[in-house]
Amino acid sequence: MGHAPVLVSEVVSFLRPRPGGVYVDGTVGLGGHASALLEAGAGRLIGIDRDEAALALARPVLAGAGTRVELVHADYRDVRRVLAERGLERVAGMVVDLGVSSLQLDDATRGFSFRVSGPLDMRMDRSSGPTAAEMIASADEVTLADVIWRFGEERHARRIARAIVRARARQALTETGTLASVVRAAAGGRGWQRIDPATRTFQALRIWVNRELDGLDTFLEQAVSALEPGARLAVIAFHSLEDRVVKHTFRRLAAGGGVVLVTRKPVGPSDAEVQGNPRARSARLRVVEKAA
């Protein structure tokens, strides 16, 4: 399945790009949201991504914007540093899509999916940090069970962790297919199931490897502080753990008077978008506006 950015028209509508404004796409991916913002009139766009493969593919997509766009290899949580290095204190809007991209899911060499077996990597930034295989090899059973329960909300977490530890004693777990087989056998279940029994565990491991929830609330606060008065921050989450952090942080900031909630409830994709891009089904968009 090709990459299709989600909720594009909604993001553009909420951010209201203008010719004199500087906008940030904190997870530029293949440039879908960035392209739409530029086409809608954004004066300048800074696209950040920690996946160098995504940046390489985004460059030709955004090349037509010339000097109006700059792509930066960094973690979106470093946005204040990225802006400071460019002499910027405030921007006119920002969007962050917290989901794993189709580019990453569909490339078996990245290790995010188990549909086709590949190296158990899972790093969004392959230039740094340990792989999933390395982290699984060194973690004890209690840690694995905690990760699978907290980040995957998997009710069989202890059983799966125990099975992983037993399996790695026999052979190193370096392939997604091998790990998925271990997890499926441990999770049990018979007959048709809505999702593959390995799905929650793979989600948990991906979040763990990439520290996806670490500092998310702090980032949201820093992103708001980097906005001009009246500017907006749009965040797209794909699973309940992320969306919960976004919801509670936005509500806390709103209670303190720092922002106004533009979306009281999360905005989801239309039926037409889901039909055209099934992976958009779980997307949830929340938007706040910096208080004047």
User: What is the per-residue pLDDT across 127-161, written as a single tens digit (0 to 9) for each?
Assistant: 989 999 999 999 999 999 999 999 999 999 999 99
User: What is the per-residue pLDDT across 15-51, written as a single tens digit (0 to 9) for each?
Assistant: 999 999 999 999 999 999 999 999 999 999 999 999 9
Q: Which residue(s) pair with 84 in the sheet?
A: none
Q: How far is CA 195 from the centre of its chain?
A: 20
Are residue 22 and residue 94 in the same domain, yes or no? yes
Q: What is the CATH number of the domain that holds 258?
A: 3.40.50.150
| Domain membership flag for residue 104 | no
| Domain membership flag for residue 116 | no
| Domain membership flag for residue 106 | no
For residue 88, the SS3 value is coil
Residue from 198, 184, 204 nearest 122 by CA: 204
Domain of residue 89: give its range: 8-98+213-290
The answer to whether the beta carbons of residues 98 and 236 sit under 8 Å apart is yes
User: What is the per-residue pLDDT across 85-122, written as a single tens digit (0 to 9) for each?
Assistant: 999 999 999 999 998 877 788 889 899 989 889 999 99
Q: Sorting pLDDT into bands at 50, 70 and 90, what band is 55?
A: very high
Distance, CA of 188 to CA of 30 (rounded, Å): 37
The number of distinct structural domains making up the chain is: 2
Are residue 192 and residue 232 in the same domain, yes or no? no
| Domain membership flag for residue 132 | yes
